[in-house]
A and B are shown apart, each in its own frame.
Chain A
């Protein structure tokens, strides 16, 4: 059962094709990875799915419903959540308050303030931020900021979670923790679509992988299949393959 279907999605910016005729389907409950060299159109795809950009052509289906014209906040209500690569916490608020925004507004039925506060604290505990609830976000380190990103996205109780380069900049230990967390999230019934460059983590996590280059999908399949695809290898030629061991 496909939770997310992208149908011939196209988006260009002033003549440059960022996403070109992209079609793919993500099955409910799986972990799907989107990889490709820099500038391949991965972030644009995320922006299209979450509703921050409108496609020039093509459609997006979520759980069978056409959400191509749905505004971003409604998509959040339907169950599409995402993190951002350039972490952008709400810097005027504490950690708890950041997560509360998601709890308060991420559902079709509005939650009360006390309930939102409780649930936000629960999620923070879950991702390991329980001891930082009252801290201002400007004091957080990289790994904690990433946890906050995930916590915020989880606060909207998504059915599909878009993870945007969560592995970047993490030490190997932190990366392993992150992989475990993500698997834990999936175990709770959340479908995951992730973008990343850290190949070792992708190999551990993803059941299926799609490769983008210049906005087009050039390969799709298991990690092993894709890793040996000549077109993929060629696309990455000249790319520093040490990306995987950053």
Chain B
């Protein structure tokens, strides 16, 4: 093993250990940080799952739809049908996947702005329906049973596991043949098809994976915060957050969305204490700033910093995002 790989591996292990142990340890004196960590991990999962879909060139504004579907399915099944929470969460993921496959197939021919608007319309339609129909609790929302008896440390471990699973999936996708398929589709669908890539299959698959994790995270959210309503669960803010973090951190990578999510969510906490309402202004500002001045996001900045260090030529730079 080379020295660099050792350093990398060590760093990763240290980060992992810190992420697992630190919040739990601090929880004994300051429960606030555990709560914050849970929020951060939820956000990170949403960001990374959105990115997976984005790798096929499908920049969706419907992420909240899958999040909300996961939440509502789980709550409805656990409160009305008496199912255990685990089953509820699994069902939430399944419903989200089915919806994603449906949406994916319907929007196959749409590109760019048309695709974005259609997905937005899908998500908002769900919100309106949920808001009107009594079965889903209409605007008043629904109360959810607590996961693992409300024991925060255990809940923290659950979301951590979900995120770790997603991270592994994302990492694997980027190292396997799927990376080639996704990138080819993202760059030029027609050329990809002519070279033998089954575009439909990969696009729908990406949708499914993305929604699976968004859905299960939605269900998790419901059973941790104990209350859901259409305004929050299907909120555009969820979709926006899920896309700003990867863009900020670096699209089409595994680390980018994660780092972006952590930085943004932590920053949001700081802002929330100073600016009571309207703190999402920072998201708008960052999004505009990144597009204008930092198209590669943090990962791009990191890569250009690394590039200044002379080293033997290896494989070409991968994963250039929208700004190139």
Question: B316 near A105 (CB under 8 angstroms)?
Answer: no
A104-B313 Cα distance, complex, nearest whole Å: 24
CA distance A15 to B61 in the complex (A): 36
Known: A92-B183, A101-B197, A110-B177. 7 other contacts (CB 8 A): A52-B193, A71-B200, A73-B195, A75-B194, A90-B191, A113-B177, A135-B316
| In the complex, A91 has a CB within 8 A of chain B | yes
A3 beta carbon closer than 8 Å to chain B: no
Partner of B188, one of A72, A88, A94: A88
Q: Is the CB of B193 within 8 A of A92?
A: no
* Cα distance A103–B324 in the bound complex, in angstroms: 26
Are the CB atoms of A105 and B197 closer together than 8 Å?
yes
The count of residues in chain A whose C-beta lies closer than 8 Å to any C-beta of chain B is 36
Nearest A residue to B197 via CB reads: A105
| Closest beta carbon of chain A to B188's beta carbon, Å | 5
Give Cα distance in the complex from A155 to B316, angstroms.
20
Interface residues of B in 274-319 (CB under 8 A from A): 313-319
B232 in contact (CB, < 8 A): no
Q: Which of B184-202 contact A (CB under 8 A)?
A: 184, 186-188, 190-200
Residue tally, chain B, CB below 8 Å to A: 29
Q: B191: which of A71, A88, A94, A106 is its contact (CB, 8 Å)?
A: A88
- Tell me if A199 counts as interface (CB < 8 A to partner B): no
CB distance from B318 to the nearest CB of A (A): 7
**A50 interface residue per 8 A CB criterion:** yes
Contact assessment for B176 and A113 in the assembled complex, using a CB-CB cutoff below 8 Å: yes
Q: How far is the CA of A89 from the CA of B286 in the complex (A)?
A: 31
**Complex Cα spacing A75 to B196, Å:** 8
Given A73-B198, A93-B316, A136-B317, A101-B188 contact (CB < 8 Å): no
Encode contact with A along B171-185: 1 for CB under 8 Å, 0 otherwise.
000001100110110
Asked whether B320 is an interface residue with its Cβ less than 8 Å from the other chain, the reply is yes
CB-contacts of A135-178 with B (<8 A)? 135-136, 152-153, 155-156
Q: Does A194 interact with chain B (Cβ within 8 Å)?
A: no
Chain A: CB-nearest residue to B192: A101
Cross-chain contact B195 with A155 (CB below 8 angstroms): yes
A92 x B318 contact (CB < 8 A)? yes
Closest 7 CB pairs between A and B? A76-B196, A94-B316, A106-B196, A105-B196, A72-B193, A90-B187, A105-B197
Q: Which A residues form the contact surface with B (CB < 8 A)? A: 50-52, 71-73, 75-77, 81-82, 84, 88, 90-94, 97, 100-102, 104-107, 110, 113, 116, 134-136, 152-153, 155-156
Asked if B196 and A51 make an inter-chain contact with CB atoms under 8 angstroms apart, the answer reads: no
Q: List 23 A-B contacts (CB under 8 A).
A: A50-B194, A51-B193, A52-B194, A72-B190, A76-B196, A91-B187, A93-B187, A93-B318, A94-B315, A100-B180, A101-B192, A102-B196, A104-B177, A105-B181, A105-B198, A106-B196, A110-B177, A113-B176, A113-B177, A134-B314, A135-B316, A136-B316, A152-B195
Q: Smallest CB–CB gap between B287 and chain A, Å? A: 22
Residue of A nearest to B319 (CB): A92
The docked-state distance in angstroms from the alpha carbon of A100 to that of B177 is 9
Query: Which residues, 50 to 109 on B, are CB-close (under 8 Å) to A?
Result: none
Chain B's closest residue to A157 (CB) is B196
Q: How many A-B residue pairs have CB under 8 A?
A: 93
Give Cα A110 to B313, complex, Å: 30
Expressed in whole angstroms, the Cα–Cα distance for A156 and B187 within the complex equals 19
Which chain A positions have C-beta within 8 A of B315? 94, 134
- In the complex, the answer to whether B180 meets A101 with C-beta atoms within 8 Å is yes
Return the chain B residue nearest A136 by Cβ: B316
Distance between Cα atoms of A143 and B318 in the complex (Å): 24
Q: In the bound complex, how far is the Cα of B318 from the Cα of A75, in angstroms?
A: 29
| Contact B324 A92, beta carbon cutoff 8 Å | yes
Shortest beta-carbon distance, B182 to chain A, in Å? 10
What's the Cα separation between A105 and B191 when bound, in Å?
12
Q: Is the CB of B324 within 8 A of A91?
A: yes
Whether A73 and B199, one on each chain, are in contact in the complex, defined by CB atoms closer than 8 angstroms, is: yes
Q: In the docked arrangement, what's the CA distance between A104 and B176, Å?
A: 11
- B194 — which chain A residues lie within 8 A by C-beta? 50-52, 72-73, 75-76, 81-82
A92-B183, A92-B187 given as contacts; is B195 within 8 A of A101 (CB)? yes
Most buried by A among B196, B314, B315, B316: B196
**How far does the alpha carbon of A12 sit from the alpha carbon of B180 in the complex, in Å?**
34
Is A156's CB under 8 angstroms from B196's CB?
yes
The docked-state distance in angstroms from the alpha carbon of A97 to that of B180 is 8
In the complex formed, the residue of A with least CB distance to B191 is: A88
- Shortest distance in angstroms between A84's beta carbon and chain B's nearest beta carbon? 6
Q: Is A90 touching B183 in the complex (CB atoms < 8 A)?
A: yes
Is B188 a contact partner of A90 (Cβ separation < 8 A)? yes
What is the chain B residue whose CB lies nearest that of A80?
Answer: B194
State how many angstroms separate the Cβ of B270 from the closest Cβ of chain A: 34
Q: How far is the CA of A91 from the CA of B191 in the complex (A)?
A: 12
List of A residues within 8 angstroms of B184 by Cβ: 90, 101
Which residues from A are CB-within-8-Å of B176? 113
List, in ascending order, chain B residues with CB within 8 A of A107's CB: 196
B184 to chain A minimum Cβ distance, whole angstroms, is: 5
